[in-house]
Chains A and B, each alone.
Chain A
Amino acid sequence: MQIYLPIAELSVNVFLILGLGAGVGFMSGLFGVGGGFLMTPLLIFLGVPPAVAVGTEANQIVASSVSGVLAHWRRGNVDVRMGLILTAGGFVGSSFGVWLFRLLRGLGQIDLTIKLSYVVFLGVIGGLMLVEGVETLRRDRRPSGAPRRKLHQHRWVHGLPLKMRFRRSKLYISAVLPAAVGLVVGVLAAIMGVGGGFVMVPAMIYLLGMPTQVVVGTSLFQIIFVTANATFLQATLNQTVDVVLALLLLLGGVIGAQFGARAGARLKGEQLRVLLAAMVLAVAFGLLLDLVLTPENPYTLGGARP
Chain B
Amino acid sequence: MIRVVLVVASLLARAPAQAQEAQPLVADLSKHLVAITTGFVGTEVLLFGAVDGPGDVVVVVRGPPRPEVVRRKERVGGVWVNTGRADLAAVPAYYRVAATRPLPELAPPAVLERHRIGLEHLDLDPVLADTGAGAAEYRQALIRLKRDRGLWAAETREVASLGNRLFRTDLHFPANVPTGTYSVEVYLLRGGEVVSAQTTPLIVSKIGLGAELYHFAHEHGAAYGIMAIALAGAAGWLAATAFRKG
Contact = CB atoms under 8 A, between A and B. Distances in A.
B108 interface: no
B145 A297 contact: yes
30 contacts: A2-B40, A2-B175, A3-B39, A6-B217, A11-B40, A11-B41, A11-B42, A60-B232, A63-B236, A66-B235, A67-B235, A67-B236, A67-B240, A70-B241, A109-B81, A116-B79, A231-B229, A232-B225, A235-B228, A236-B222, A239-B221, A241-B228, A254-B235, A292-B79, A295-B80, A297-B141, A299-B141, A299-B142, A301-B149, A302-B71
B233 interface: yes
A231 B232 contact: yes
B240 A302 contact: no
Contacts of B232: 59-60, 62-63, 66, 228, 231, 246, 250
Interface string B199-243: 000000010011101100110011011111101110111011101
A112 B39 contact: no
Interface string A9-22: 11100000000000
B69 interface: yes
B66 interface: yes
A219 to B, nearest CB: 15
A164 B137 CA distance: 61
A62 to B, nearest CB: 4
A112 B81 contact: yes
Interface in B79-96: 79-82, 85, 87
B85 A108 contact: yes
Nearest to A228: B229
Interface residues on A, range: 35 or more
A243 B87 CA distance: 31
Interface string A274-296: 00000000000000000110110
Given A232-B226, A291-B79, A63 B40 contact: no
B154 interface: no
B212 to A, nearest CB: 8
Given A6-B210, A246-B232, A297-B145, A304 B68 contact: yes
Contact of B229 (A59, A251, A291, A297): A59
Interface residues of B, number: 62
A301 B236 CA distance: 36
Given A66-B233, A297-B141, A298-B73, 10 more contacts: A4-B175, A6-B210, A66-B235, A231-B229, A246-B231, A250-B232, A292-B78, A301-B146, A302-B68, A302-B85
Nearest to A60: B232
Given A243-B228, A299-B70, A6 B222 contact: no
B69 A304 contact: yes
Contacts of A9: 176, 178
Contacts of B44: none
A300 B70 contact: yes
Interface of A: 1-7, 9-11, 59-60, 62-68, 70-71, 108-109, 111-112, 116, 224, 228, 231-237, 239, 241, 243-244, 246-247, 250-251, 254, 257-258, 291-292, 294-295, 297-304, 306
Nearest to A8: B176
B37 interface: yes
Nearest to B211: A6
B176 to A, nearest CB: 6
A9 B174 CA distance: 12
A82 to B, nearest CB: 21
A236 B176 contact: no
A65 to B, nearest CB: 7
A4 B71 contact: no
Contacts of B221: 235-237, 239
Query: Which of A65, A71, A228 has the largest number of chain B CB atoms within 10 A?
Result: A228
Given A65-B236, A235-B224, A243-B228, A299 B176 contact: no
Given A235-B222, A244-B213, A304-B67, A299 B239 contact: no
A246 B228 contact: yes
A199 to B, nearest CB: 21
B36 A62 contact: no
A237 to B, nearest CB: 7
A63 B217 contact: no
B74 interface: yes
B174 to A, nearest CB: 9
Contacts of B241: 70
B165 interface: no
Contacts of B211: 6
Nearest to A258: B243
A67 B232 CA distance: 10
